[in-house]
Amino acid sequence: MSLCKKSLILLLFVIFFTSCAREQIPINKKAYANEDQDIMFAFEDIHNKNYVGAKNLYLKLFNNSHRGEYLYKALQICLYLKENQEIISLVDENYNPTLKNSAKIFNINLLALISVKKYDEALSKALLFIKKDDDIRTYEIIANIYYIKGKYQEASKYFESIYLKELKPKYLISLVDVLYARLHEKQSAISYLETHLRLHGYNLDLGMKLFSFYRENNNLDGVISILKRTYNSLNGNEKQKLLQKKVGELLVSYLEIKDIKDAIKFLKVKHLDNAKLLSLYEKNLDYEKAYKLSEKIYKKTNDINMYAKLAVLEFQSAENKRSVLKSVIKKMRYILSVSNMPIYQNFLGYLLIKYNLDIKEGLALTKKALKAEPNNLAYMDSIAWGEYKLRQCKSAKILMKKVVGQVGLIDKDIKFHWDTIQKCKIKKISKKVKRTKHHKIKIAKKYHDKKQKLSTDIKKQKYIKHTKISKSKVKK
C-alpha cells in the first residue's frame, strides 16, 4: 500500500471515530423541543450500526439548529459510507467558516474530492484555506495530494512543515519515506531519524524505520546500534517482552556477522538463548565452554540430543582423541539404542572408520544415515572414506567427486580425503602368484600325491635291496 493511501486511510479513521461523544448543550439553549431525543436516537442507531438512520437524524438536527457539530457528524457518517458526492453537495450548500468544527468539515470535503479524483480542485481549495486557517490536517491533505500527483518535492516540503510544527513520529515517517524512496535523498532521511531519536528520545516506529534504512545500505554498525537501543527500550508488558526477545535474536545474528565474540558476550550478559550460545561456542571452536554449557543444559533437561552433544564435544575438546574413544563410542552406542537419528549414525560410523576400529560396521552405519538423508554431503564423505579403506576405490571416487563438486576443497578434511582417494588403486597380482582356492587345493593334493609316491618308491627300493642282500647270503 502506498504512503498516500496509508495516510488517507488513517486520516479517515481518525476523523470518523473521534468526536463521537455528544457535546454538552445547555438545556436552556435547545434548538427545538425534541433535540435531546433525536440525539439519543442517533446514538442508538450508531450503536445498532444503522448509519443511514443516524446520518439522517444528524442532518435533521443540523437543519433545525444550524450547529456545525451536527453537520460534522453527518459528514463523518457519509465518509464512512463512502458517500463522497453527498459530502461535496452538503458542504457546498451549508459550509460557513463561522460554524463550529468548520476546519474539520472543510477537510472532510477535501477527502471526498480526493476520493472522486478531483485532485486539482481539492488542492486549490486547500491552499486557499491554509492562508486563513493554519490547520495541521489540511497541511497533511495537501502533502498527500502532491504525493498522489507525483510532485514529491512539494509533498516533502509540506510533510516537513507538519513535522516541524508538532514533532510527531507519524509525520516524520511520512517525510522520510518521501525523501528516501521518492527523492532518493537517503542520507537526509537517515539524518532526520537519527536527530529526532537523539533529541526527543527513542520511539519504536522511528527506530524500526531507521533499522530498515541501515540494513538496506549495509550499515552494519548502524544496524547493531539501533537494535541495541531498541532491545533496551523494550522492558514493559508481555507484548514488549516478546518483541524484545525477537529483537534480541535479530541483534545476535548481526553481532555474529561482525564479531562472534560480541555475540557471545551479549548472550552471556543478557542470559539469553543457551542453545544459540552453545552453537556460537562450537562455531568459535571453544569446545571446553561448549562442553560445560551442554552438561548444564543436559542436567536441566535430560534431553537425549544434549547427551549426544556431550559425546561429540567430549571428542572434539580432547587433545588426545584416542584417549576418549572408548567413552565416546559407549555413549554413542547408547544414544543409537534409543534414537536412530542419521547424524548420530554418521558420527559413530565415521569414528569406527577413521580409527580403524570396525570399518565394515562404520560403513554400514554411515550408509544407513545416507539412506535417511540422501543429499547429505557429510555422510557421502564418510562413506567414501570407509570405501577407500576397504579399497573400494571406484565407488569412493564417485562419491568424493559429488561432494567436491558441490562444496569444493575449502574444508581441510574433505581436501585430504579427496587427495588421498584419488591415489587409491587396487594392487595387481601376477598370474604366477594369483591362485584361487580351488587351484591351491589342487596343488596341495598334487604335492601330497607326489610325496606319497616318492615314499612308496623308497620303500620299494629298500625292499629290493634287502631281498638282493638276503639272496647273496644264501648263495654263500
Contact 313, 319 (CB under 8 A): no
Residues 1, 145, single domain; the answer is: yes
- Answer yes or no: is 191 within a domain: no
Q: What's the whole-number mean pLDDT along residues 133-150?
A: 95
Q: What's the whole-number mean pLDDT along residues 386-394?
A: 95
Please state the pTM of the whole predicted model: 0.72
Residues 300, 401, single domain; the answer is: no
Q: Closest Cα partner for 380 from 410, 417, 340?
A: 417
> What's the CA gap between 115 and 145, in Å, rounded?
11
Residues 267, 284, single domain; the answer is: no
- Answer yes or no: is 356 within a domain: no
- Answer yes or no: is 439 within a domain: no
pLDDT the model gives residue 425? 83
Number of domains in the chain: 4
Residue position matching grid coordinates 516537513: 160
> What's the CA gap between 17 and 115, in Å, rounded?
19
Can you give the residue range of the structural domain that contains 387? 361-427
The helix or strand, by DSSP H or E, that contains position 61, with its residue range, turns out to be: helix 51-65
Residues 128, 36, single domain; the answer is: yes
Backbone angles phi, psi at 450, to 5 degrees: -60, -45
Q: What percent of the chain has pLDDT over 70?
A: 84
Q: Record the cell numbers describing residue 443, joined without a space.
A: 596343488
> What's the CA gap between 420 and 437, in Å, rounded?
32
Q: Closest Cα partner for 19 from 101, 126, 140, 106?
A: 101
Q: What is the pLDDT of residues 461-474, one digit of tens each?
A: 655 554 444 444 43
Residues 10, 109, single domain; the answer is: yes
Positive or negative CA dihedral for 389, 392, 395, 401?
positive
Contact 421, 388 (CB under 8 A): yes
DSSP string, 270-330: HT--HHHHHHHHHHTT-HHHHHHHHHHHHHHH--HHHHHHHHHHHHHH-SSHHHHHHHHHH
Q: What is the pLDDT of residues 401-441, one digit of tens each?
A: 999 999 999 999 999 999 999 999 875 554 444 455 555 55
Does the pLDDT value for residue 120 go beyond 90? yes
Region label for 218, one of left (φ > 0), alpha (ψ between -120 and 50) or beta (otherwise): left
pLDDT grade for 26, boundaries at 50, 70 and 90:
very low
Amino acid at the residue 8: L
Q: Record the cell numbers describing residue 43, joined without a space.
A: 446514538
Residue position matching grid coordinates 591362485: 435
Residues 129, 34, single domain; the answer is: yes
pLDDT the model gives residue 472? 46
Residues 145, 4, single domain; the answer is: yes
Q: Closest Cα partner for 109 from 130, 81, 121, 2?
A: 121
pLDDT grade for 253, boundaries at 50, 70 and 90:
very high
Q: What is the pLDDT of residues 222-250, one digit of tens each?
A: 999 999 999 999 987 889 989 999 999 99
- Answer yes or no: is 189 within a domain: no
Does the pLDDT value for residue 374 go beyond 70? yes
Residues 107, 140, single domain; the answer is: yes
Residues 131, 231, single domain; the answer is: no
pLDDT grade for 27, boundaries at 50, 70 and 90:
very low
Contact 143, 174 (CB under 8 A): yes
Residues 139, 38, single domain; the answer is: yes
- Whole-number mean pLDDT of the chain? 87
Contact 159, 144 (CB under 8 A): no
Q: What's the whole-number mean pLDDT along residues 201-228?
A: 97
Residues 14, 103, single domain; the answer is: yes
Q: What percent of the chain has pLDDT over 90?
A: 77
Q: What's the whole-number mean pLDDT along residues 202-231?
A: 97
